[in-house]
Amino acid sequence: GDSVTQTEGPVTVSESESLIINCTYSATSIAYPNLFWYVRYPGEGLQLLLKVITAGQKGSSRGFEATYNKETTSFHLQKASVQESDSAVYYCALGLHVGDNSKLIWGLGTSLVVNP
Amino acid sequence: NSKVIQTPRYLVKGQGQKAKMRCIPEKGHPVVFWYQQNKNNEFKFLINFQNQEVLQQIDMTEKRFSAECPSNSPCSLEIQSSEAGDSALYLCASSLSKGGEQYFGPGTRLTVL
């Protein structure tokens, strides 16, 4: 079936360290799904962080990057130097769109704690 | 920032009671989605609409939930007879197209006692 697996949290890093949150997916109902990272900051709602709809392309936002890798079915989230304000829960999601069948398949989220 | 509005933010119901929540999608977004996020952080797609028409819904939604997106009124999701297992965060999202980016509201947190 369609599923998303991501790094189990919490992930704790110190400010200015690099970060990688792994995301791998399985898409059986569609060959080229859209891929998304959403973020939920403390006390706020879900926000779209970045998206990539074409295999091989990279998306970036707020210093975060993720590359759509069709061969390894991965969409890892990376940042070279995290800040305390990046502390949040990050969700990887698979976008399925086949006719009227349109929905997001979600990972379980990765809680990121950035220490000052 | 998303402009999807969800009310109420918190809802407490007893088992067997009806629980109704509302969503106003972003202006100009014809597609609306409802998801349930449980205490284990698992998301479950419930139903989606394009304008006033249901596109797709899961079996649970068809049997125990009532949902609609009337013209010029908020969308709504109602659980006909709440169960303890329905305690969750209910998220509404809207989009310009079926496969497009989804923008989320803050959610309605339902607690069924």
Q: What is the pLDDT of residue B1?
A: 67
Cβ-based contacts of B35 with chain A (< 8 Å): 104
Alpha-carbon span B11 to A55, nearest angstrom:
41
Q: CB-based contact (8 Å) between B89 and chain A?
A: no
Q: What is the mean pLDDT of each run of 10 residues along chain A (116 residues)?
A: 94 97 92 93 93 95 97 97 97 87 92 96
Write out residues 19-78 of A within 8 Å (CB-CB) of B. Answer: 34, 36, 38, 44-48, 51
Q: Any idea how long chain A is?
A: 116
Q: CB-based contact (8 Å) between B2 and chain A?
A: yes
Alpha-carbon span A109 to B43, nearest angstrom:
10
Interface test with A, best of B39, B44, B102 (most A CBs within 10 A): B102
Dihedral sign from CA coordinates of B88, B31, B45, A78:
negative
Q: What is the pLDDT of residue B59?
A: 83
Interface test with A, best of B5, B104, B108 (most A CBs within 10 A): B104
- Smallest CA–CA distance from A45 into chain B, residue: B106
pLDDT of chain B along its 113 residues, tens only? Answer: 669 999 999 999 999 999 999 999 999 999 999 999 999 999 999 999 998 899 988 887 778 899 999 988 999 999 999 999 999 999 999 999 888 889 999 999 999 99
Looking at the partner chain, which of B1, B98, B103 has a beta carbon nearest the beta carbon of A97?
B98
Q: How far out from the chain centre does Cα B77 lie?
A: 5
Residue A10: cis peptide before it, omega within 30 degrees of 0: yes
How many Å lie between the alpha carbon of B101 and the closest alpha carbon of chain A?
8
Instruction: Give the H/E segment covering residue B63.
Output: helix B59-64
Cβ-based contacts of B88 with chain A (< 8 Å): none
Instruction: Give the H/E segment covering residue A92.
Output: strand A88-98
Interface touch B56/A108, C-beta < 8 Å: no
Interface touch B1/A47, C-beta < 8 Å: yes
Cβ-based contacts of B25 with chain A (< 8 Å): none
